[in-house]
Amino acid sequence: MLGAGIAGLTATRALAGAGLSVRLHEARDRVGGRLLSVTHDGCTVDLGASWFWPNEPLVQKLASELGVSTFQQALGGDAMFEADHRGAHRMEGNPLDTVSGRFAQGAQALAIRLAERLPEGVLRLHDPVTRVHVNDGAVTVEAASGVTTARHVVVAIPPALAVEAITFSPELPAEVRTLAERTAVWMGDIVKAVAVFDKPYWRDVGLAGAAVSHRGPFREVHDHSGPGGSPAALLGFAAAAPFDGVSPERIGAAFADQLRRLFGAASATPRHIHVTDWSAERYTSPRAVSPRAATTSYGHPLYQRATAGRIHWASTETSAQNAGHIEGALWAGQQAARAVLDAIGATQAT
Ligand SMILES: Cc1cc2nc3c(=O)[nH]c(=O)nc-3n(C[C@H](O)[C@H](O)[C@H](O)COP(=O)(O)OP(=O)(O)OC[C@H]3O[C@@H](n4cnc5c(N)ncnc54)[C@H](O)[C@@H]3O)c2cc1C
């Protein structure tokens, strides 16, 4: 198994649960991939995914199984709108009002708790995979920790990153390689910033903590407070390209500046600002993003069948349902595990 994001962890759990011997190689020193929750001064916030939606049963079932408590995203109040340099104004109601849920312990808790439940010795952190070789009867995986031989390999890594960072031999069929290169990494071109405050002061004046800004650099702002408003926090999304080479401190300062414009002087003094530029994360985004990368190839039929009979695809981008979301990653992980079990069952039957 390549990648201990939520898709790889899901597939690993299913395969290990079916009694197979599985090895899960993870490049980073942590599990979760694009689920990343950080705690500072006792306040936990999400720098990767944070929401799930009512039409997503897999994620709700997983949270309940793992004892990760959930709560509703706060939406009440008015939003702010900033068209240009002439200043922000208040809009009646909150256009960013889709009902959604959040994870009280942070979204990464899903991945951490899944990893804790894996059999000992399955997960290898700090273990980037660099080569996958398919021969007649097996797959050989080369990782930092050494070489492993297996019957099947699941690539639970965004396809565009996998084909850039991993050498496949023999070469992947041209149609698969081209598809992978052109499959955009979901949110891979985004900067997310979270500012933590003493209290959700915007709520005192009937504001939702939400904003739409055409001036930027942050285009969308949402309330990111925990249950009952604690910790109090606002999050922002910005396109990563304009921040190329800019330090997290300067990005954080730009976010604080914009919050002050949008919500008034109290926002000038957050207790802490966290910033993650996902385009600069070498284990999320490829260095050379194809100019043709798009989301239209998500869940493509080529991702639903094994390449060379032994390479299975399982990141959220490959999912035929809810691709891009945590829900899609869970679906892809389950699907890949089923495909491996089917293939092994077929082998054993012959
Ligand atoms: C800022 C942001 C906000 C988001 N908001 C939401 C949201 O609110 N709701 C929602 O549903 N979704 C959201 N998403 C998307 C969600 O995070 C993803 O759908 C999901 O986490 C993807 O899981 P995955 O396992 O498919 O991929 P990843 O999480 O990307 O996992 C891939 C794993 O592979 C590892 N890896 C990479 N290269 C190698 C290698 N060579 N060898 C070994 N391991 C390797 C990585 O370190 C990583 O752990 C958001 C994403 C971001 C970045």
Q: How far is the CA of 149 from the centre of ligand 1 (A)?
A: 26
One digit per residue, pLDDT tens: the chain, 350 residues? Answer: 999 999 999 999 999 999 999 999 999 999 999 999 999 999 999 999 999 999 999 999 999 999 999 999 999 999 999 999 898 999 999 987 889 999 999 999 999 999 999 999 999 999 999 999 999 889 999 999 999 999 999 999 999 999 999 999 999 999 999 999 999 999 999 999 999 999 999 999 999 999 999 999 999 999 999 999 999 999 999 999 999 999 999 999 999 999 999 998 766 689 999 999 999 999 999 999 999 999 999 999 999 999 999 999 999 999 999 999 999 999 999 999 999 999 998 666 54
Query: For 337, phi and psi rounded to 5 degrees?
Result: -65, -40
Tell me the CATH architecture of domain 1-36+107-187+282-350: 3-Layer(bba) Sandwich (3.50)
Residue 268 and residue 113 in contact, taking contact as beta carbons nearer than 8 Å: no
Instruction: Name the β-bridge partners of 190.
Output: 239
Atom of ligand 1 nearest to the CA of 315: 26
Atom of ligand 1 nearest to the CA of 326: 11
**Which residues form the pocket of ligand 1, taking CB atoms under 6 Å from any ligand atom?**
2-8, 25-28, 33-35, 48-52, 128-129, 156-158, 161, 165-166, 186-187, 190, 192, 278, 283-284, 315-316, 324-329
DSSP state of 342: H
Give the domain ranges of the chain. 1-36+107-187+282-350, 40-56+73-105+189-280
Q: How far is the CA of 146 from the centre of ligand 1 (A)?
A: 24
Q: How far is the CA of 320 from the centre of ligand 1 (A)?
A: 16
Sequence-separated (6 or more) residues with CB below 8 Å from residue 17: none
Cβ neighbours, 10 Å, residue 125: 15
- How far is residue 334's CA from residue 324's CA, in Å, rounded to a whole number? 15
What's the start-to-end Cα distance of the chain, in Å?
Answer: 25
Q: Given CATH 3.90.660.10, say whether it is the number of domain 40-56+73-105+189-280.
A: yes
Atom of ligand 1 nearest to the CA of 8: 25
Q: How far is the CA of 237 from the centre of ligand 1 (A)?
A: 16
Closest Cα to atom 36 of ligand 1: 3
**DSSP E strand stretches across 28-75:** 37-40, 43-46, 70-72
Q: Which H or E element spans position 273?
A: strand 272-277
Bridge-based pairing state of the strands 139-143 and 88-91: unpaired
Residue labelled with tokens 């869970």: 330
- How far is residue 86's CA from residue 80's CA, in Å, rounded to a whole number? 13
Atom of ligand 1 nearest to the CA of 100: 8
Q: How far is the CA of 179 from the centre of ligand 1 (A)?
A: 19
pLDDT at position 276, please?
A: 98
Q: Which H or E element spans position 160?
A: helix 159-165
Q: How far is the CA of 34 from the centre of ligand 1 (A)?
A: 3
The encoded tokens of residue 190 equal: 């985004």
Judge residue 293's burial from the number of C-beta atoms within 10 Å of its C-beta, 0-12 exposed, 13-18 middle, 19 or more buried.
Answer: middle
| Candidate from 28, 45, 157 with most ligand 1 atoms within 8 A of CB, to mutate | 157
pLDDT at position 264, please?
A: 87
- Note the pTM of the prediction, 2 decimals: 0.97
pLDDT at position 265, please?
A: 78
pLDDT at position 348, please?
A: 60
Sequence-separated (6 or more) residues with CB below 8 Å from residue 230: none
